[in-house]
Amino acid sequence: MSFRDRIAYKNAIKRAAETAAMIYKNVLPETPYRKCKIKYIVFNPRSRDDDANYETLKPLRDSAVNILKIIEDDKRKMIISLKEKEILSKDYKIILSVSEVKNY
């Protein structure tokens, strides 16, 4: 992916997160989670290396902090568990699941 493509991708993720924040504002947490677990399910037409998927997932994680305000910060001490699962599919999509961890 070229530098220009990466910037365009990050901007598209940001716009999508801004739209999601408006649409789903009633189901987003009132205050960001201090500790959480994150799980990504990545649907790809063909298998990719973990690092290639990570490049795709990083802007989503940033959006969960900066735009959706689900997570207080994406530092290691805040994210208790980070998992990624890949499913081969003809359609490309990503499901992001964030759950709060209490009493950790």
pLDDT in tens, 44-60: 888 888 777 787 888 88
**Per this entry, what is the length of the chain?**
104
What's the chain's average pLDDT?
A: 89
pLDDT of residue 29: 92
Q: What percent of the chain is predicted at pLDDT more than 70?
A: 100
For 69-92, letters b (16+ CB in 10 Å) and e give: bbbeebeeebbeeeeeeeeeeeee
Provide mean pLDDT across the span 5-10: 85
Domains of the chain from N-terminus onward = 3-100 (3.30.1330)
Helix (H) or strand (E) holding 99: strand 93-100
How many CB atoms are located within 10 Å of the residue 66 CB?
Answer: 12
Mean pLDDT for the stretch of residues 79-94: 91
pTM summary value: 0.81
Give the mean model confidence (pLDDT) for residues 81-91.
92
Q: What is the pLDDT of residue 53?
A: 77
